[in-house]
Amino acid sequence: MTVNNFSLEQIAQHNTLDGAWVIINGKVYDVTTYLDDHPGGRNVLMEVAGTDATDDFDYVDYSDDALRKMETFQVGIISGWKKTPKPTFVESLPVSAKPTASQPTRRSPMLTWALVSVCGFIVLGYGWQSTEVGVLSNSYGFWSGVAVALVVAMTIGGAVVFSTTKRVLDHGKGVFEYKPYYEEPSLS
């Protein structure tokens, strides 16, 4: 099989729906017939048609099946193409930030709910104390019970709502941790 050599100028002419070619890692692919089958849609390929799409391609983690399928679309290579080295990133050790006097410490919402509840009980307790020692007052008995029940219900309900919301919203995986392509069953 002879390998066709293309220049960047030749590839730049193939950026239409009738002829969409892309360059990936120095290889030229004719993806015209694959436009409607691409998992990201035709627009994704048309944005990079006629250009070097190596960076965009490397950004997405493709499966082995997708790479095998892509080889069927190869029509040649770019003459004189050299891979640009990827920048190397040095992983730095995490620095533990200690709060300073000007930097307030952050409390958990559960602790805040607990502190508000305790303060509410203290305020209610002082408000309902009898003014005379040994004398019981019945004037606010029913409403004080309602207030205590309301504070307890709000404390428990707030804790339940907080923990449920946190569990529901924390789904565990980021959007880029999922594979962008599914493996097709072989027809042979």
Q: Per the domain annotation, does 71 fall within a domain?
A: yes
Structure tokens at 150: 């309301």
Q: Examine the pLDDT at 121 and tell me if it is beyond 80.
A: no
The helix-helix angle for 141-169 and 109-127 (nearest 10°) equals 180
Mean pLDDT of 38-43: 82
Residue 32: inside a domain: yes
Q: How does residue 103 score in pLDDT terms, banded at 50, 70 and 90?
A: low
What residues have CB less than 8 Å from 39, skipping those under 6 apart? Answer: 180, 181, 182
Distance (Å, rounded) from C-alpha 162 to C-alpha 127?
A: 29
21 touches 49 (CB < 8 A): yes
Predicted local confidence at residue 63, as pLDDT: 76
% pLDDT > 90, the chain: 4
For range 134-145, the mean pLDDT = 66
- Among the residue ranges 84-93, 129-138, 143-152, 166-175, the one predicted with the least confidence is 129-138
Q: Is residue 39 part of a domain?
A: yes
Q: Tell me, yes or no, whether 35 lies in a domain.
A: yes
Q: What is the pLDDT of residue 5?
A: 85
Question: Does the pLDDT of residue 36 top 80, yes or no?
Answer: yes
Mean pLDDT computed over 106-134: 67
Looking at the predicted structure, is the pLDDT value of residue 130 above 60? no
Six-digit token string for 149 = 């029940």
Considering the domain boundaries, does residue 139 fall inside one? no
Residue 177 is assigned to a structural domain of this protein: no
31 in a domain, yes or no?
yes
Decide if 13 is inside a domain: yes
pLDDT at 67: 82
How many angstroms separate the CA atoms of 67 and 64, rounded? 5
Q: How many domains does the chain have?
A: 1
| Domain carrying residue 13 | 5-78
d(CA 6, CA 8): 7
CATH code of residue 13 = 3.10.120.10
Instruction: Answer yes or no: is pLDDT of 39 > 60.
Output: yes
Say what the pTM is.
0.46
Task: Decide if pLDDT at 158 tops 80.
Answer: yes
Tell me the pLDDT of the chain averaged across its residues.
Answer: 76
Q: What sections of 63-181 are H helices per DSSP?
A: 64-71, 109-127, 141-169
pLDDT number for residue 135: 54
